[in-house]
Structure 1
Amino acid sequence: MALASADEFQHPPGPDPRWQESYWFSAADHRNHCGVDAHLAHLPHEGCTEAQITVITPEGIVSLGARYAVDDPLAVPGLDADVRVPFEHWTLRYEGHGVDGPDSNGLYAQTPGEVPFGFSLDIHQPLPPADFQSAYTDTISPGVAHHHYAGAAVFTGELHCAGQRTPLSGLLVRDHTWGPRDWTFDLMQGSLLALDQAQVFMAAASFLSAGHWSGVCVVHDKDGTHRLPAPWTRPGGLPVRDTWHSAEILVPGEWEPIAFTGQHTIPKWVPSYSSKPSSYLQHELFAEAHRGKMTGHGPFYQVFPADSPLAANLPSRSGQTAKLPLS
């Protein structure tokens, strides 16, 4: 089904209790060590929208995690989202109160806080988004991301945190999904990338489920969307929290790997990742990416469920099965 301008906005919820709709934005100014990460998920059958919002400044990281009794992911308190031209031009503004640094368990975006923070972003997407269509359901699972598109953009804007304001500009990746969500896997590693001044978007991820590896790799540019062979991923260290700050993705047929050099590692529990009762722990390496001669922004993710052996090194009572607070 071809994308329509209306798909940039909220969709009517379906009857499946696993149905959700989410928006995600990751903006980076790697030269000035600044950025924004915002994940917004409407969970209609739980009567709420989950928000996890993080601002990275040269001085540190401030984040918020909460659930709100609103039925539109773009209507959480403090957020002003203006879709000026669908698939081309957005403005995003946010004002809230978060936590300075990680919590006592080393995690981010788990609760509201008291530090005033926010951002304003003027986003321009030079190419139409990549429509994943059946790329995930063909190769990963029939229950994964029924409707999913993503794209690369350039942006300018400003961060503010505890009274300090910081201008920033750079590259941004964003995606939008809706429909029944059933992410059930033992480990996911991969990235969405904005390259070559947002003239190239790329998605590459590997999934381990029930002892079987599968993967998806998509490249989107002025010539359209192209599927490549399933990639292999490798973090530059042990697959546990705060032990790696670089990574590579290898795509069969390409001579050089995609290389990621991280500036920050941001671990957080994401309750909305799956319909499973357990949360998933997401390690985000906020990273600069290199693919051949192209440079860009490519947050690299490693995600696994709370009952994974990889979670064994976490402190007890670290909140991995708790819901975000309802505000």
Structure 2
Amino acid sequence: MGTDSLYNQKLIKAYPFVSDILSEQMEPYNGQDDGRLDNLLIIRVQKADADLMFKRAHNLGLGNSDSCAFSTIRQHEMHIGKRGEYMFAIDNSEKIINRVDWPRDREEQRKADQLCVYASDIFWSQRHERIYSGSIIEKVKYLVWVTVEAWYTDNKYTDDKYTGNERGYRSRFGELLSTSIRITIYQEPEQGFEKLLKESNLYESLVLDTRLLQRGLMMRDVDIITMRGMLGEMCITFQDEVYFNGMKEMREKVEFRSASGKFGAVRVLCAEMCGCDFVTLRDVDSQITFRVYSDFTHMHVVGQTGTLPQIRNLVKTVVRMWNQNTEARNAFKTNEDLYVV
């Protein structure tokens, strides 16, 4: 839907600041006057919650970044994309009073003297390295999260003269095909933004990924180091209660040395690769992968996505059902599709 759809027109009339946001430059979108917004505009409205306070952007293809987005949707099957995410604060007069731009590429991230930028940074008018000042939280009526995506032809498939990627994926961006903007308007919660921020817990709401944990370790961030330790404890629980409690033996007996099973809502995938066993636990919202070398007696975490409570639930569910549900345990069987030489 574009800005001229009846549904969007109704929301834009109810929230006039949306028009102001659409006039902002937000790479890869350069403002409403560039004529590219006739493709897709999605507007949602919901209450702000604790997860929003520690939300982070996932920018791709911006600045000098060598990253890009891919899609399995047929519409963009042979295309590559850019993504930029932004946060705006709106006051009682429904005017933009602050904006947060996340680092566009790794170089900007490296220069930033802080672990990462959270959505809650929007409540400070001045942010320099690790020093925050000028709180505006009492003035904020709405928070607005904006995700901009642009899809391009991939020179790898369309340009006969394309010879390589000396500039990484940047050399592969061809003709602009479409632009989409997704706007989520977060209304002030009943307790207000100030109390919401105080009640929010980093250990419950921060989505963990490998890059964040690595950067946190290098910067000696106490919270991240603590959370790494919690993930390590989950790994020990899984190896003792599941992997070395029958799973390893079952996996070694199957023909393809790989197996999978369903434990409630959690899918478990186990496969051998390069002399190591990889075990992944995942559901619709989160996943964690453990690895163990042949003949080693301990596992370690090699990747994860999700909050600590989500990942903890994965491990607890599999541990409980592996030890208490014979039917689920016996359903853990060979999976030819997971076989890796």
Q: TM-score scaled by structure 1?
A: 0.23
Please identify which structure carries the higher helix content: 2
Please identify which structure carries the higher strand content: 1
Q: TM-score scaled by structure 2?
A: 0.23
Determine which structure has more spread, i.e. the larger CA radius of gyration.
2
